[in-house]
Amino acid sequence: MSHVDAPCPHLEHPGNTSPTSRVCDECVALGDGWVHLRACLACGHVGCCDSSKNKHATRHFHATRHPVIRSLEAGERWLWCYVDEVGIE
């Protein structure tokens, strides 16, 4: 996957690690639900979005500094860079 029009260096080389889960494992462990799922492209971590109670995708970024996530929702193809706060389709 190459993005010639990437708005930041992280999105130029976002990585392509496959998601390690199809649920937010941290929410499952807590017994909580989520709204949408996001996948880290550096390590495959799956976490819940900022509309969810626990915001595990954003927490994963703060814990690891892995910059780029993608949506795991059907029909959504965007990527998002937490460092630069920019996204691409």
Least distance CB 86 / Zn ion (angstroms): 6
Using CA atoms, how far apart are residues 29 and 79, in angstroms rounded to an integer?
Answer: 26
Nearer residue to Zn ion within complex by CB, 34 or 72: 34
Least distance CB 13 / Zn ion (angstroms): 10
Q: Which residues bind Zn ion (CB under 5 A)?
A: 8, 10, 24, 26-27, 34, 40, 42-43, 45, 48, 54, 56, 64, 66, 81, 83-84
34, 52 in Cβ contact below 8 A?
yes
